[in-house]
Amino acid sequence: MTASTPAHDPNCIFCKIIAKQIPSRTVYEDDELYAFHDIHPWAPVHFLLIPKLHIPSMAQLDASHTALLGRMMALVPKLALQEGCNPYPDGGFRLVCNTGAEGGQEVQHLHFHVMGGPRPWLRG
Residues acting as catalytic residues: 111
> Which span sits near ligand AMP by CB under 6 A: 2-10, 27-35, 36-44, 75-83?
36-44
Q: Which of residues 93-122 bind ligand AMP (CB under 6 A)?
A: 98, 104-107
Q: How far apart are CA 41 and CA 26, in angstroms?
A: 14
In a 3-state reduction of DSSP, which class is residue 10? coil
What minimum distance in Å lies between the beta carbon of 8 and Zn ion?
6
Would you give the binding string for ligand AMP spanning residues 47-86, x where CB under 6 A is met? ----------------------------------------
CA distances from 105 to 6, 29, 50, 66, 102 (A): 20, 23, 14, 22, 8
63, interface contact from ligand AMP, Zn ion, none, CB < 5-8 Å by kind = none
Strand segments, DSSP code E, in 1-124 are 26-29, 33-37, 45-51, 93-96, 112-116
**One-letter identity of residue 121:** W
Instruction: Give the residues lining the site for Zn ion (CB under 5 A).
Output: 9, 12, 14-15, 54, 109
